[in-house]
Structure 1
């Protein structure tokens, strides 16, 4: 079982729903309008709780914690109705988490759910702690119940949904139930349709025999990469016409960009829409536009000491995308500069891992092994995907430095992670020219119902960036692997390979 670190619960609490101040309305919702009856003792008590939460949101979580400890012991607490007491305990748990009092935060969340089993906010926060403690069953059950009790779009972050989906990889029934709840409640990522999530949902529906539900799911998938996955997979031949422009990835690419441009005009600034637009332009190959739209951000980032915490995610990913655009344009110095900015401008309490791994991967591809190793120094609390991604880069570094011991450690980690991240394991095999083993792994991916569409997407003939020095041999071996008769036969059994004037990622 994984132990929570001092900062982990704070991060997880912040990811699953609104910040501390967002709970103020919930606990002070009984405030009476001037035209109504005179405020009651309960109203005064809830107002005190709300003031403490505002104090915490202003940065004084210690002072707020002291006030809330006193209020929870106040006799007036017992006079609240069950829903109000549950909301107060949930908010108090958030403040305890901010004070790194993980056990107290967990205890308060459990009390909140026990008092009011329909407190969706408390259940979602409790689910996060269970995910950290590697209790995916319990976490999924709480999420499913929370979704059933949610009004409107559930307050779940993309990190929470992605992490839970990964934990439930081997539990298709619960995974399907979670995604069904998100789908029914029209969950989006800051207003952007999560098309990759719905693609997984559609595959789960097909595998579960829920064929009557697939069409509705496909209606909410209109982006190039997911459509390439679906078109390549023979399981979806009955659901989409291959000559229908609605399912043409190239046409979808332009529609996707056009929608995002409109959304960006309606919601300007650094947000998920801007991140998604930059990614969509990358798929279409509009690399210079990505560079242009991120130029001012890069200039401002060079002058800044740290990002605003609430904007660190979009800033980091916009700069990361800028780096990839330069990389595809063959401008490696500019790519390194942008990736360094992405690392620098990410909140230390947020997702620095992805940007640091991307920086290390860039250095390794440029044959700068010591710089790659330095970029990953101190990385901890990695997911299974993060561990295997790091191991793949460590194997590249070890081979460049002829470091036999490091290579052995990297191979062992890649082997241990091969079920969760078969693509990383296969790339490791290709690095060492183990072509038969790589073919066996790819064929196994194609046979796996949930891994199949990812493998098929990688196999499509799409646009490619000029390989960097340490990618030349790997790219050649990948093309050789694709042409093997055993791989081609495995593809024909379950899907097909087509050509698109798009980048797949």
Structure 2
């Protein structure tokens, strides 16, 4: 049977509609004029010709509309469009990943993990493409007794997710702890043996729940760190155009105290990117230069080159972060300004984070503004900001505790710290804080807070609370 004939009028209408769709999606994906983009997308999706499109074309329009809402901070609307997109055409893993992220932001953690599990089931070869930050946040948000949470972690562990990366060791720590709490110590032992980054290892050594699963001698951390640095150096050599691998290697080297070498590596990377031919980029992911500069800033700080460290962080704060407005380095720079007793600059940098800022970013901003208020002697403003931090204390306990130390309330800070030790969910980070490791000399704006932190950790009630669940040791790592 011959296909039905299409009239010239119908072809013209179809062509005109295709042009309108292209204009709308270009607006949705590229412009900051979000109201105009939203109006254009709604118009093309409301036209009768929308129903004549194939599933893939419908999905693309719904996904583009969702991206407008994400950038506007309208996550309920974004989730609705992403749900429509995967219903119209479930064959795009990026939409499942974005749906997972939005569902997590909305607090729909089971739906978020279902979307990730769908990716692992349908596209197992893409497991390493999952956002480490999203996976770790989702694992923190889900209750520890969640079977889906355990399924996700076990699936990624068995896939050797992100080998050598810090995110993997952090996830394996969570997996090992979950197995310990479920009294599956033999399985936990296998997971513990695959943790190589210092912080997760130190958390486990300090925590009596892990006794018998790894040696408590601090030299274990240094030994595994040496193996890690060597392995990452080999990976970097095998992937010379992968900037992300270089970042992991430099972070591990910083932990090992090799800041002079990191400065040389990072400065070479920056020079090569600055001098590259845009048609032949040096790195596949050279748009992550902001992360290189942040690492360079840390290394320069440890070398005592403070003005150069600030310059690197300032440049990093002006670059996009993973293609989005930069929040992490802006807040890091604001914290730096406070540490150097320049609160006005801290306030200017912390204000106006934009709609992409999520709840943890806003809590960090309030902590920065509180610090600035204290430096400027604005005690009423500081107390108002402290109340805001108290209101969002769940998940931001470390920020709140440090804010309490800043205002001089060591008693309340100590009480909060003891509660963190007693809470099985928060114990690992609390024990990590008590360990003694290498640190740069505090900057002027941090000195008093660090002294109060030391005094808090030396209190008899705090020491007793630590001893009830863990131990404190000295570590020759940063």
> Please, what TM-score do these two structures have when normalized by structure 1?
0.76
Structure 1 counterpart of 2:206 = 232
Give unpaired runs (5+ residues) of structure 2.
Answer: 1-14, 31-40
Q: What is the SS of the residue equivalent to 1:152?
A: helix
Q: 1:271 to 1:351 in 2, by over 3 A?
A: farther
Q: 1:276 to 1:71 in 2, by over 3 A?
A: farther
1:397 and 2:372 correspond: yes
1:358 Cα deviation (Å)?
A: 0.5
Q: 1:349 to 1:236 in 2, by over 3 A?
A: same
1:135 and 2:108 correspond: yes
Structure 2 counterpart of 1:420 = 395
Matched-pair contact (CA < 8 Å) for 1:391–1:410: yes
Structure 1 counterpart of 2:257 = 285
Cα distance in 2 between the residues matched to 1:217 and 1:271? 28
Q: What is the SS of the residue equivalent to 1:183?
A: helix
Number of residue pairs the alignment of both structures matches:
438
Matched-pair contact (CA < 8 Å) for 1:366–1:468: yes
**Correspondence 1:388-467 to 2 at 5 A:** 388-467=363-442
Q: 1:62 to 1:498 in 2, by over 3 A?
A: closer
**Correspondence 1:83-232 to 2 at 5 A:** 85=55, 89-97=58-66, 109-111=82-84, 113-114=86-87, 122-154=95-127, 155-168=129-142, 172-188=146-162, 194-232=168-206
Cα distance in 2 between the residues matched to 1:60 and 1:116? 22
> Please, what TM-score do these two structures have when normalized by structure 2?
0.80
Matched-pair contact (CA < 8 Å) for 1:357–1:375: yes
Q: What is the SS of the residue equivalent to 2:124?
A: coil
1:458 Cα deviation (Å)?
A: 1.4
1:490 and 2:462 correspond: no
Q: What is the SS of the residue equivalent to 1:240?
A: coil
Deviations for 1:142-184, whole angstroms, at most 9, x for unmatched residues?
3334433432342411232233234326775443333233323
Give unpaired runs (5+ residues) of structure 1.
Answer: 1-47, 78-84
Structure 2 counterpart of 1:480 = 455
Q: 1:333 to 1:302 in 2, by over 3 A?
A: farther
Structure 1 counterpart of 2:358 = 383
CA RMSD of superposed structures (Å): 3.7
Deviations for 1:30-66, whole angstroms, at most 9, x for unmatched residues?
xxxxxxxxxxxxxxxxxx9xx99xx99x978789x89
Deviations for 1:454-474, whole angstroms, at most 9, x for unmatched residues?
111111110110110111111
Q: 1:433 to 1:266 in 2, by over 3 A?
A: same
Q: 1:251 to 1:314 in 2, by over 3 A?
A: farther
Deviations for 1:366-404, whole angstroms, at most 9, x for unmatched residues?
000001111112013433322222222111100111123
1:266 and 2:238 correspond: yes
Matched-pair contact (CA < 8 Å) for 2:369–2:385: yes
